[in-house]
Structure 1
Amino acid sequence: MKDKKFFINIIFTVVISYVLIKFIDNYKYFFDVFSLLLSLLTPFVIAFILAYIFNPIVHFLEYNLKFKRIFALLFTYSILLVLIVSFVLFTAPVIVNSLIDIVNQVPIYAEKTQSFLIETVQSLQNIDPQTLKDIGDKVMGSIPKLSTLFAGYLGQIFSTTFSVGKFIVQFVLAFIICFYILLEKESFLHFCKKLIYIILGKKYGDFTIEVGGVLNTNIGKYFSGKILDSFIVGVLSATGLYFIGSQYALLFGMLIGFMNLIPYFGPVIGMAPVFIVNLFYNPTIAVFSLLYLMLVQQIEMAVIEPKIVGGQLGLSPFLTILAVTIGGGFFGIPGMILSVPIMGVIKIYSAKFIEYKYNDIK
């Protein structure tokens, strides 16, 4: 009997070793498959985000105005369609023209930057000319490299979300999935509960459903608050930039409002182009725009967010940045947004587990 068990263990070890070796030899293939699976899951991630956004509206129509679920959904989607059409007709042309203008101005920005660097180098007469030449050559030689690196880095971050064709397909699919999630949410939840109990049993099933309930509550509160918070920040930013005299105030206001959904990284990404672009037109306006946006962010963190969002689920900056980085790496911007409430729930149960184990040791 012992010999048989020993023989089975050897076979099992050999099989596992063979599988690991094959995996290492063909890791690129498996990574490609994994990337494809993540890409296929992205519409579902977006759909769940949309479901959390639309659910309060559907709930209000269904329980306060006595709409049937299907009519509440159709009404919500009709309002959304009107908003999208209005945006395309009235706002999108301004934004598109602003983007085209920025792209057309890039060579001028580069020329102005080069002239500024040359003038700066020429003004430093007390430094050895050869040293100045070496520094100038290095700076000029690094500009194309930095530009390529920066473009590649941005492309890598946003390729999951902003590939135009992929973006449209994913969002259309996400809206369809979201519709059926909200239409049959009770049946969907009931089926999931049954499946969880069948697979995990009573003890672990109860725990999993409890975690799911906490996650659902945290995500719902976080999204409803954060979206309203970001909308207010976007309106304040666009209005203030317009009166300051900033270029492309509407475009930058929308960018800042959208990026405000992403903790820590978002506001920086939103403010940087405002300052850089305005710097080429009027340095004074660039400085005032940056100071104004920093003031808006301070007001948002001190007043708006605590009142509307209720804080960042008790997460430290380290955990928030970790969550955003991992979520963005897997699912792009939707992953960045969704990762924060998920990390909040992980923190809650990790703290409970650590406290439980620590008390056992004591």
Structure 2
Amino acid sequence: MKNITWKTCARLGATALIVYLCIRYWGGIESFLAILLNGVTAILAGIIIAYVVNIPMRFFERVLPGETGDGTRNRVFSLLLAIVCIVIVALFVILLIVPALVDAVITLAHDLPGIINTIVSSDFVKTVLPASILDKVSGIDWGQIVGSIATWLQSGITSILPGIASFLGVAAAWIVGILFAFWYLAEKDKLSTQCHRMVRSYLSPALDEKMTRLLGIIDDRFHRFIVAQSLEALIFGTIITVVALLLGLPYATMLGVLIGVMSLIPMYGAYIGAIFGAFIILATSWQQALVFLIAFIVVAQVESNFVYNRVVGRRVGLTGMWPFIGVTLGTVLFGIPGAFVGVPIMSVIFQIVHEDLTKRESLPKDALTPLERVQQKLSD
């Protein structure tokens, strides 16, 4: 009891008061935290947008001549060109894929019973599936199923309306993020200098060096991954378009664009795109949809074994099973966003471990590891 001072009592009292106020006014605190989270989400969205836009922007900054001493005009033109290129690509993808998808849905909703009956009555299906299964499929009233789905969609519209407010909130956060991204890209040199000054002022030189090295690795690996994955998606989409044209499949260009865009999701994205592509072709012919799936599987196997490891794997420093492990872990932990960042995060970890192993192997045999040095200090 003699060791208890008035400072200790004051700290305990302040802690108890803070806990009481948090419990008493938790509703207001929760609202404040929600607003704060929306602000943080907008900033994070802006950082992501700025990082992606900065990649083509840096390319234009290298190829465009600067007309002013500080390169301000060069930067403005580069930013505008990068935005225009991204918007053009996005509009091209949307205008090419969405109409075909809508037409396929309308056609299937109208002709699905006839398509199912044609598939069931074909000689190929009769030789593959047992007669009992074919009888069950033939006995299904597909028209009633389509009508039930349409009724469910119509009734679902009313349930979607309450979510419009939350959607608008997310959209507003992304709009703020876009504005933040443009401001950051226009002032990135000044902001980078200010951040470096703060880090050097408040951190030790050793920690400053380690943090700078870590951020450099993260930037390098993510930049390499985005460029390589985009190139791989372009190659994959082009191959699919050529194969679809050679096989006489409908919507050949749209199929290539769809699978190319979905290939931006490593490993699994192309297969999801193939399912949508087969669904669209199914509105025209189920035989052509089957041919497309078979051709896609063959192309995907060749692409994953020969193209992906050379274009993406080597550029990010991962080959073999490591990209697959990164995508799988990222998807399991963080869903679709994790699938995007799984490979570059695994590449960052791989590079850090590699540098640490190289450093340890170059040390003398009797040198102490960092953990052993800490243990020695504690024992002393």
2:280 corresponds, among 266, 277, 281, to 277
Amino acid at match of 1:260: S
Question: Distance in 2 between the 1:352 and 1:30 partners?
Answer: 43
Question: Distance in 2 between the 1:279 and 1:346 partners?
Answer: 43
C-alpha contact (below 8 Å) 1:222/1:309 kept by paired residues = yes
Give the CA deviation at 1:15: 5.4
- The equivalent of 2:309 in structure 1 is 306
Give the stretch that moved more between structures: 275-284 or 250-259. Answer: 275-284
Assess, with a 3 A threshold, how the Cα gap between structure 1 residues 68 and 24 changes in structure 2: closer, same or farther. closer
Number of positions where the alignment pairs a residue of Structure 1 with one of Structure 2: 337
1:43 corresponds, among 25, 42, 46, to 46
- The equivalent of 1:103 in structure 2 is 105
For residues 74-113 of structure 1, what are the alpha-carbon distances to aligned partners after superposition, in whole Å with 9 as ceiling and x for unaligned?
157348637856985x876554431331232241365457
- The equivalent of 2:366 in structure 1 is none
1:223 corresponds, among 226, 236, 244, to 226
Secondary structure, counterpart of 2:215 in structure 1: helix
Larger radius of gyration: 2
Question: Distance in 1 between the 2:86 and 2:177 partners?
Answer: 19
Give the stretch that moved more between structures: 225-234 or 189-198. Answer: 189-198
Give the CA deviation at 1:221: 1.5
For residues 251-296 of structure 1, what are the alpha-carbon distances to aligned partners after superposition, in whole Å with 9 as ceiling and x for unaligned?
3221211111111231221111122333453333222211222233
Q: TM-score, normalised by structure 1?
A: 0.69
Q: TM-score, normalised by structure 2?
A: 0.66
Question: Distance in 2 between the 1:94 and 1:338 partners?
Answer: 27
- The equivalent of 1:320 in structure 2 is 327
Aligned-residue Cα RMSD (Å) equals 5.1
C-alpha contact (below 8 Å) 2:57/2:79 kept by paired residues = yes
C-alpha contact (below 8 Å) 1:260/1:266 kept by paired residues = yes
C-alpha contact (below 8 Å) 1:95/1:250 kept by paired residues = no
Give the CA deviation at 1:227: 1.2
Q: Is 1:124 aligned to residue 132 of structure 2? A: yes
Assess, with a 3 A threshold, how the Cα gap between structure 1 residues 338 and 74 changes in structure 2: closer, same or farther. farther
- Greater helix share, structure number: 1
Assess, with a 3 A threshold, how the Cα gap between structure 1 residues 86 and 294 changes in structure 2: closer, same or farther. closer
Secondary structure, counterpart of 1:2 in structure 2: coil
Give the stretch that moved more between structures: 235-244 or 5-14. Answer: 5-14
Assess, with a 3 A threshold, how the Cα gap between structure 1 residues 109 and 295 changes in structure 2: closer, same or farther. same
Where do residues 1-362 of structure 1 align in structure 2 (5 Å cutoff)?
Answer: 2-4=3-5, 7=9, 10-11=12-13, 14=16, 18=20, 29=31, 32-33=34-35, 36-37=38-39, 39-40=41-42, 41-62=44-65, 68=71, 70-71=73-74, 73-74=76-77, 77-78=80-81, 81=84, 93-108=95-110, 110-111=112-113, 123-124=131-132, 170=174, 174=178, 177-178=180-181, 180-311=183-314, 313-314=317-318, 315=322, 317-324=324-331, 336-338=339-341, 340-346=343-349, 348-349=351-352
Question: Distance in 2 between the 1:125 and 1:182 partners?
Answer: 60
Structure 2 unmatched runs, 5+:
361-368, 376-380
C-alpha contact (below 8 Å) 1:260/1:267 kept by paired residues = yes
Structure 1 unmatched runs, 5+:
none
Assess, with a 3 A threshold, how the Cα gap between structure 1 residues 188 and 25 changes in structure 2: closer, same or farther. closer
Secondary structure, counterpart of 1:310 in structure 2: helix
For residues 122-158 of structure 1, what are the alpha-carbon distances to aligned partners after superposition, in whole Å with 9 as ceiling and x for unaligned?
952999x9xx99x999xx79x959x98xx99xx9xxx
Assess, with a 3 A threshold, how the Cα gap between structure 1 residues 44 and 57 changes in structure 2: closer, same or farther. same
Larger relative contact order (Cα-Cα within 8 Å, sequence gap ≥ 6)? 1
